[in-house]
Amino acid sequence: MPSLRVDIENTKELVTDKRLQAIEPEILNAKKQLDQHTGPGSDFHGWTRLPFQTNHELELIKEIAAEIKDSAGSFICIGIGGSYLGAQATISALKGEFYHLQSPQPRVHFAGQHLSSRYLEELIELIDFRNVYLNIISKSGTTTEPGLVFRILSQKLVAAVGEATASRRIIATTDKEKGGMRTLANEKGYRTLVIPDDVGGRFSVLTPVGLLPIAVAGIDIEALLAGARDMASLTRENSLEKNPSLLYAAVRNILLRQGKVIEILANFESRLHYISEWWKQLFGESEGKNGKGLFPAAVDLTTDLHSLGQLIQDGPRNLFELFLILEENPTQLTIPATTDNYDGFNYIAGQTMAYVNHQAYEATALAHREGGCPNLTLFLPQLTAYWLGQLFYFFEYAVAISGYVLGVNPFVQPGVENYKTNMFKLLGKPGF
């Protein structure tokens, strides 16, 4: 089957064949723990089964999305972390940066991902609440950011259309049985979609958490699942050569053991910005514990070559890069010639901008390798729902393997609670 491709040539000074052979038993042992559900956090391995789902809830998602597309002017997805990043990444990648300027119906907005009152006020001013659907995504219903924002937006909706209509316009993606949001949904009569008990937030893009907003945006969720399903099948391979997730996990751990403690995800396609944001949460929360883990950073190129490029090229040699490169660019925007050649660019007149962008990638990868920054490349054949499905599962499987090799449980995030405890104390919450 066609798949994503990993090229590690620009790491060869440090990732030698000998080192790959040495780490392979550790990688395969981690794979065994994951595949047989014997490793730490195995009660959160439900994401491995998501690509194969053919259940009633998938049809319900499509039905609700069709209703929203037919009748709403705006759809607001309220969530934080994994509760919004997968949807944001997919919609931004496939619909583009000028999506909202093209007046799609409905317009998909995100809220509850931070506590900025300015952002929320501007969103409220923009929205006609007579024509809005809200999707609150929260397993507990008590997470501060989405909880406070939902309070505000749901009251705006009730004021605009009344209690009964508002209850019909609110979809709660939450726990199937317990929690504050489940209780509220039952009391108010909200329609609900279920966050599976065995899937953590950062692995939830293929659950209703991600699938409903993605479907509302008009993206084919069946194609997304098909891509993930093909990658899941490929991850059954027990060799670094045939399994790209295993190869990636091996390379990053080899580099970490040689002092490369920062991994930079670099793209040359601005639509992929939120893929990087999704990736940062996935790897940061999964690996960063017990004093271990790579620090996940991201750059948008060539933009950041004019800012962070200097540090990557000549700064401390404690980092490496993963280039995420789109192989097929369907745009044919060409560079025109001028009679006076005032800027000296006539030598590339007639070439496409996509060609120049790819040469910039090639030049950057070579320069960074020569400067002591090893880099590997993940080639994404096309920017489609199918290939994003492959990409999501590729990274999810790789981070699970990598976490086990590191000796951490990649499916918990105890450190996230520390700031919450301090904030509740400062806010005067009872019991804190």
> For this structure, is 18 an active site residue?
no
Peptide bond into 54 cis (omega under 30): no
Catalytic residue among 285, 287, 321, 396: 285
The amino acid sitting at 287 is: E
> For this structure, is 163 an active site residue?
no
d(CA 10, CA 376): 6
> For this structure, is 156 an active site residue?
no
Torsions phi, psi for 416 (to 5 deg): -65, -25
Q: Which residues are catalytic?
A: 285, 306, 420
